Structure 1
Amino acid sequence: MRKWLTWQIRKIYFELAQNKRKMSNGIELTYILKTVSDSDSLVVVFSALSPRGKSVYNHVRSLNGIPCNRLYILDNFGYKKRGVFYLGEKNGLEVRDAVEELIDDICRHRNIKTKIFAGSCKGGTAAIYFGLRSQASKIIVGAPMYYINDCLKIKFENYRLRMIDETDPYGEDKLNGTMKNTVQGTAFQGHIYMQYSKGDEYFLSQINPFIDSLRKEKFSLITEEANYTEHQFCSFYFAKYLKKILTKETVGGL
């Protein structure tokens, strides 16, 4: 009963706190924006995969007290509104374009000078993707996925099928190459912080190839190895890691 009541309270809180906005391409985004009047920094937090139920916000309470603006964007698209890696359906990029428009608009209106992108799992993939494209100052991630198609094929086939144009014989390859092409096609001057665990079942197939790709391009990559034994625990470890990095950067000056 107590667990159910807590869940209901959280649900009501997020429904009251969030905003909805239709972007110029017709995509409606759902998000929470926490503002700090004297800050010119913005932390954008992306959500992880949602195995059950609709997409949810991550790391909202974790960052309470961090003295900078914070934007949490919901990835409520695709299969049962559980997410499309903030890209789009049928190999499209309509969600990506809407997300970038929202971020740019907030940065312009709030005179943001420092952008930080963060997230774990799918959220980590999105943080690197958008962070590289927008030349963020810092990207902070936990256990990001490198080969999106392969990742979804293991446990999330319904998610994957909504993201692929099945009439395109190269649809799977295009989705799988999203991060590789972005990393190789971007000259990035910021810093990337990544937490991972070798005990994560995705380490060899997803996380380590991501690390190799970033290092090959000679990006500034700072890593921390955690000791969790299953991927499902990465968000718990990442919450502390994210706050630690942001606190350190805030004290040192963002």
Structure 2
Amino acid sequence: MFKGEKVFESEKSIKYLFQKSYAKTNNLVIIFSAFPTKGKQPTYNFVRTLSEFDCNKLFILDDFGSRASYYLCEKKDFAIERSVISLINFIIKENDINFIISCGSSKGGYAALYYGIKYGFDHIIAASPQYYLGDYLLDQTNSQDVTLFMSGVSADEDHRFLNEIMPKMIEKTQNKPNIFIHLGKDEPHYENHVKPLLAKLDEVHINYELNLGNYHKHSDVGKFFPTLLKNTIRELLNYPSLEIIQSMKGKQSIGSQCIFEVITDSEKNNIAWYVYRDNERIDMKNYSTDHQLSVTFDRVGKYHAKAFAVNSLKHKVSVSSEEIEVF
């Protein structure tokens, strides 16, 4: 079990990880997961990627069937979807949420779009999503195990059923979320899934922003999307940027002194520091406009610093330095 994982009991039991904002913000980022690597169990995506943001984050696990259910259905019964949206509504109510972003890549991108459009979230950030599930699962990846769970069999009727889930939902919706879609311009997903998706969004007058990367492999989404995801969330929620520069790295001798300095988007951002030795906090520096920290290594161990930045909106981010081994 993932640390902090809980189970929401509804028609279906939904496993999730909720990270509550310390600053009690009213925003929520919902993260849907992609397919697990073959032979591995489903897991939560982008937990580490989004760790710097002190915002409400809801990671939802899709561990139904042999590998996944797209957070939708079992044998055409949408109890999984009803349970997932019940969890989301529970988190919204319990935390006074009034601004929602859904995000994910590949299968998670499909779910981010489906839930974000159908249930009227404010923003959607999707990377290389599928659109025609029947084509993808049956023709493009031979994932009959997934289609068998979702639709019951893998016949032509079920192929059409899976293909039509997203288009029919978009045709019925009155919601107009803001949508950001990223993928490689030479990915097969662009022709097979994203172009038909964009045509449908144009048809119902839902605005979107398309961001094309210079790559052709679907798997390369994992290299390019995390930075885009962070930058887009930072812009949407008005969180400060934060990067640490350090005067030394690697192995150093006792008595060495390292200068840590942050680069952030405003000199008015307040910065605080923690210093760790062997993952135990040994020092701290309270918030101030001083963007530097000097650390003298007086004992053997593995050191790193962690910086926190807070802007005028009281939005906080944090980032850790590279480790320095002192001998």
- Asked whether the equivalents of residues 18 and 31 of structure 1 are also in contact (C-alpha less than 8 Å), the reply is yes
Please give the alpha-carbon distance, in whole angstroms, between the structure 2 residues aligned to 1:147 and 1:231.
Answer: 16
Farther off after superposition, 161-170 or 140-149: 161-170
Q: CA RMSD in A?
A: 1.9
Identity of aligned residues (%): 26
Q: Which has the higher strand share?
A: 2
TM-score (norm 1): 0.88
- Residue 121 of structure 2, aligned match among 126, 136, 157: 136
Please give the alpha-carbon distance, in whole angstroms, between the structure 2 residues aligned to 1:73 and 1:147.
Answer: 22
Partner secondary structure for residue 238 of structure 2:
helix
- Residue 69 of structure 1, aligned match among 56, 64, 72: 56
Which residue matches 2:27? 41
Which residue matches 1:210? 197
Please give the alpha-carbon distance, in whole angstroms, between the structure 2 residues aligned to 1:142 and 1:193.
Answer: 8
- Residue 102 of structure 2, aligned match among 97, 110, 117: 117
Q: Give, in angstroms, the shift of residue 169 of structure 1.
A: 6.8
Partner secondary structure for residue 101 of structure 2:
strand
Mapped pair 1:98 → 2:83: yes
Farther off after superposition, 206-215 or 142-151: 206-215
Q: Deviations over 1:114-137 (max 9, x none)?
A: 011100101011011111121101
Alignment of 1:53-92 (within 5 A): 53-79=40-66, 82-92=67-77
- 5+ long unaligned stretches in structure 1: 1-13
Which residue matches 2:209? 222
- Asked whether the equivalents of residues 73 and 151 of structure 2 are also in contact (C-alpha less than 8 Å), the reply is no
Partner secondary structure for residue 15 of structure 2:
strand
Q: Give, in angstroms, the shift of residue 55 of structure 1.
A: 1.2
Deviating beyond 4 angstroms after TM superposition, the runs of 4 or more aligned structure 1 residues are: none
Q: Give, in angstroms, the shift of residue 233 of structure 1.
A: 1.5
Compared CA separation, residues 213 and 167, structure 1 to 2 (3 A): closer
Q: Deviations over 1:204-249 (max 9, x none)?
A: 1112211221122211201111122210111331111111100111
- Asked whether the equivalents of residues 184 and 213 of structure 2 are also in contact (C-alpha less than 8 Å), the reply is yes
Which residue matches 2:231? 244
- Residue 174 of structure 1, aligned match among 158, 161, 168: 161
Which residue matches 1:198? 185
Farther off after superposition, 166-175 or 205-214: 166-175
- 5+ long unaligned stretches in structure 2: 240-312, 316-327
Compared CA separation, residues 198 and 168, structure 1 to 2 (3 A): closer
Which residue matches 1:107? 92
- Asked whether the equivalents of residues 142 and 235 of structure 1 are also in contact (C-alpha less than 8 Å), the reply is no
Which residue matches 1:50? 36
- Asked whether the equivalents of residues 148 and 154 of structure 2 are also in contact (C-alpha less than 8 Å), the reply is no
Mapped pair 1:234 → 2:238: no
- Asked whether the equivalents of residues 125 and 146 of structure 1 are also in contact (C-alpha less than 8 Å), the reply is yes
- Asked whether the equivalents of residues 67 and 250 of structure 1 are also in contact (C-alpha less than 8 Å), the reply is no
Mapped pair 1:17 → 2:4: yes
Q: Give, in angstroms, the shift of residue 167 of structure 1.
A: 9.6
Q: Which has the higher helix share?
A: 1
Which residue matches 1:10? none
Please give the alpha-carbon distance, in whole angstroms, between the structure 2 residues aligned to 1:231 and 1:167.
Answer: 24
TM-score (norm 2): 0.69
Aligned residue pairs total: 237
